[in-house]
Structure 1
């Protein structure tokens, strides 16, 4: 009986077929090795949370307000020089579970949104507050502290409701009509245009002789609270004779305005809010009247 080796050596066609088969197998192995090397070496694993941007400063989509879902994605920019990611402006809203935040979904094409649900103990870390005190002030201070080192170009601080008595218009329209060029120049702007129920000399914490529009509800307790808290909030600054700005703690500020104060300043302010025995309505009103001063250094805005 003739062996396989003898048959192959005596038949040129068999030798050609065998050589061709070996070449194809070798070529296939090379291609597979190249594919594995390209995908393994050229793409590295990263992590991105649903609702978060690759700028990684904590925005979350309203579609996942109460659920924190992580998805692994593969991203690599190679060894070439990389341009820093551009941070998008942010909307920070203080809300309760009963508030409808659907309006914020319409803003996510242009803004990163931060819905702080102050009555939700299960909020993710970047949307959590240490205590539900001081109304929206605790939310605003906590956002600034969490993101101080990586702030967006500007941030809009607002309440969770879409409409309210103190808003001249729908909050979505107000945000969309914000003139960024004017904000960049002023660095801080109120989302409310009217001075009522405030006025150009609303608070007189030293002399208590302010002339106010309307009945001046809570005027004296607010003046007293600001006067008492001033040394703790602004230890190296003189209490102004007059403090005035539009109500009602809804405004836009650039990162430069926010960084006019140090992170430690905001931590100190929040600690005062945590420690104070004042009613939330009063402690919240203290900051409502002071946001313009905090961001600009101007007592009358």
Structure 2
């Protein structure tokens, strides 16, 4: 009796065809199973895992360990960016501008509070604007409009000083064309000349009544290190403007991070640092130092108020001081 077969004899023996076919089917089955398992693993990873914003949440920006990239926000065609405080009543936005996607930054809110806030509450609205641009740089809408939190403000460019009117009438096609559009056309306050940086740099006057003008030349050189200090800076006040996505993307993300870092590091108080940026936004976004559009053309292209007479332009915005009458617009000035 043989307890084992000779290897040489087994190799020389003819193979059973049924055994060979069985092995082929086994190998095919294993291959199909491996392919199905690989496909399932790919599905479990989900689409775009290499570029998911959720996956990179927590990335450090500009060396600030407390600064985190927010979750991805699906951009709309148009968005509002509002600089507010925790006590600000922002219900007017939802009530009257519900067709806009809204970003309300409460500058004095803590980071663990619900909602949007800023790294440091400095520079008034400027910190909000730069924070939005940095956080949303890769998910910007076609048009972003930057505003203060109050609906009625002394500088809003219409007879009621009403931001709802300005936003509702804003010509988005013109924003796309121009890239940067100041929401104010009136020349009162800011135009044709607000600052004389080159003269102040040469003469260094002791102008205690105009601290922004005194600080501006040196701060301009910090903000625009490759630019010549201009003789005149002129543009309508007061830090409310619209930007196209294309215009924002003309500068790198790092550029805006540097501007924000300047604002975070400056020893200037919020009023002065905010005003320095107020009279720099137009240059940051590629306009000349003296940028005062013809008022008639500006109203027509920005808001569609065309064929305005001199009287229309004069009455479009009237100086009432730095604060509107209490109860405006329900309570008129004459009723006080």
- TM-score grouping bracket, smaller chain normalisation: 0.5 to 0.7
1:98 maps to 87
Task: Give unpaired runs (5+ residues) of structure 2.
Answer: 1-42, 47-52, 55-73, 202-206, 292-336
In the alignment, which of 135, 139, 147 is matched to residue 150 of structure 1? Answer: 139
Structure 2 residue matching 1:128: 3-state secondary structure? coil
Could you tell me how far apart the structure 1 residues matched to 2:208 and 2:191 are?
14
Work out the number of aligned pairs and report it.
218
1:227 maps to 217
Q: 1:152 to 1:241 in 2, by over 3 A?
A: same
Q: 1:101 to 1:45 in 2, by over 3 A?
A: farther
2:195 maps to 203
1:280 maps to 270
In the alignment, which of 268, 282, 285 is matched to residue 292 of structure 1? Answer: 282
Q: 1:182 to 1:100 in 2, by over 3 A?
A: same
In the alignment, which of 98, 101, 104 is matched to residue 112 of structure 1? Answer: 101
Query: Contact 1:242–1:300 at 8 Å: present in 2 too?
Result: yes
Q: 1:218 to 1:249 in 2, by over 3 A?
A: farther
Q: Deviations over 1:23-78 (max 9, x none)?
A: xxxxxxxxxxxxxxxxxxxx9999xxxxxxxx99xxxxxxxxxxxxxxxxxxxxxx
Task: Give unpaired runs (5+ residues) of structure 1.
Answer: 1-42, 47-54, 57-84, 210-216
In the alignment, which of 266, 269, 276 is matched to residue 259 of structure 2? Answer: 269
Query: Contact 2:80–2:102 at 8 Å: present in 1 too?
Result: yes
Q: Deviations over 1:98-156 (max 9, x none)?
A: 21101111356422111001111146687221110000000000100111112110100
1:236 maps to 226
Q: 1:273 to 1:258 in 2, by over 3 A?
A: same
2:149 maps to 160
Q: Which moved more, 1:136-145 or 1:183-192?
A: 183-192
TM-score by length of 1: 0.65
Q: Is 1:175–2:164 an aligned residue pair?
A: no
Could you tell me how far apart the structure 2 residues matched to 1:160 and 1:297 are?
26
1:40 maps to none
Query: Contact 1:141–1:270 at 8 Å: present in 2 too?
Result: yes
Could you tell me how far apart the structure 2 residues matched to 1:123 and 1:300 are?
42
Query: Contact 2:75–2:140 at 8 Å: present in 1 too?
Result: no
Q: 1:141 to 1:124 in 2, by over 3 A?
A: farther
Q: 1:44 to 1:250 in 2, by over 3 A?
A: farther
Structure 1 residue matching 2:144: 3-state secondary structure? strand
Q: Which moved more, 1:172-181 or 1:200-209?
A: 200-209
TM-score by length of 2: 0.59
